[in-house]
Structure 1
């Protein structure tokens, strides 16, 4: 495997190479996250620690609109409580679960990423189609992943106010959880192609600028690798 330029186990291609003389492995992830539990599993029991009410919740009744004679204090959907993920760290007790809601990025990687904030990015697809604002590299305090494509301004504002989360993608949390369990340092570098719920009903910023976002993301990842102070660091970038 080490001598080969690529490997294809279970129909997924792993490519081996170098960026600026540093070893890298490139693999395409799927779209979205997959939850491990199936329909044959037992229902969650709060007393067994299967779910918690300590992290926070969203109350559907707070977002009712265009409904006549609606009691905004409650509805039949009640609340949705946010839950941590079950993890089984490599250095933990076998088959003894732990829980994780936030997964911190590597502090060295995060500090190093500050050097990328002055990096110039492409702002146009062609001579007639450009972003309305100049793209830039910025670090965020918290990000999250969703199992659906999020395009809702109300929910965007909710998770920012509740959890101080700004970017939302569909994959990075899966990578973060694997790195947490394997005790591998990681950082997530993503290019945002639109504002959730920010465009008009007829527009689709993601479809228009997805290729531009992908190219800019590659530019930032390559520059980050070049800035690594030591070639001995392991890189896991979503």
Structure 2
């Protein structure tokens, strides 16, 4: 009896033979079934605190302080392991934006033995009681731009789908209604707006705030000086979203609606990843601008250096005090 494979053209015979071999004869494949493609490889096994900043000027102050630095790379991200203020750390840039922050926080958790997460950087001030250069350590962070863009029924009048109204518990900004975000963890699936900072880490930060000596924050940087002496404020709320905010009306809305001290573009995304993985986190954010609340143009370009330096100082004082 002739082999039916012989009646096929050569390319088809080859494909058919491979398929026949794999199914009937159990041919070996190039990728073992027990080794998933793209499996994460841990780059360092030492338990470390992840120290994250969003972009280079925020990390410039910290990296030179890392003792015994060792460089690692994964997916184009550079990680530096070593010690900072006597604590084992892995230091890296998340990149600006909620997506980058979530993606690279998870990357660090996959590739390193991360015990705690600390975010250090600059932010826009929302609370009118705070000034540029102040350092805030919010007790919780929310993703405030998980919007519903509501239907406009009449000019200036908006309505939400009936099935979504139970989620809309906060005032809207025009057509934009803030909503909770769905998050998954070992405990299951939940919809959350706020992600709490770790209570023990927050207590250490409060100790710095209440200390008689406190943390010496910079008042001047190069030739630029602030009008007020900066202060450390622990507690309250922070919010994060995909937009750089430089609008007075929206700033006032964010303070009134979320009782926020600051807003940024990364922290709540990192907080959500920390929650999903069960890793304690805290964030130090220093005000580089007033998110549209100041006179004249946005102040970030002028005061970014002071703000980044002050956030880094509080972070280092925190690590020194952390047990």
TM-score by length of 2: 0.56
For structure 1, the residue ranges without an aligned partner over 5 or more in a row are 37-44, 61-78, 231-238
Q: What's the counterpart of residue 142 of structure 1?
A: 237
Q: Which residue among 13, 22, 25 is the counterpart of 2:78?
A: 13
User: Contact conserved, 2:215 with 2:313, CA < 8 A, in 1?
Assistant: no
Relative to its length, the structure with more helix (as a share) is: 2
Q: What's the counterpart of residue 206 of structure 2?
A: 114
Judged with a 3 Å threshold, the aligned counterparts in structure 2 of structure 1 residues 199 and 47 are, in CA distance, closer, same or farther, namely: closer
Q: Which aligned runs of 4 or more in structure 1 are off by greater than 6 angstroms?
A: 45-49
Residues 89-144 of structure 1: CA deviation (Å, up to 9, x unaligned): 1x134xxx321100011111111101222211111122x42011111111131111
Judged with a 3 Å threshold, the aligned counterparts in structure 2 of structure 1 residues 80 and 14 are, in CA distance, closer, same or farther, namely: same
* 1:26-175 alignment runs, 5 A limit: 26-34=91-99, 52-60=166-174, 79-89=175-185, 91-93=186-188, 97-117=189-209, 118-126=214-222, 128-175=223-270
Cα separation, 2, equivalents of 1:2 and 1:162: 43
**Whose Rg is larger?**
2
Shift of 1:47: 7.6
The answer to whether residue 323 in structure 2 is matched with residue 190 in structure 1 is no
Kindly tell me the number of residue pairs found equivalent between the two proteins: 198
User: Contact conserved, 2:286 with 2:311, CA < 8 A, in 1?
Assistant: yes
User: Contact conserved, 1:52 with 1:83, CA < 8 A, in 2?
Assistant: no
TM-score by length of 1: 0.75
The answer to whether residue 44 in structure 2 is matched with residue 2 in structure 1 is yes
Shift of 1:183: 0.9
CA RMSD of aligned residues (A): 2.6
User: Contact conserved, 1:106 with 1:186, CA < 8 A, in 2?
Assistant: yes
Relative to its length, the structure with more strand (as a share) is: 2
Q: Which protein, 1 or 2, shows the higher relative CO under an 8 Å CA cutoff with sep ≥ 6?
A: 2
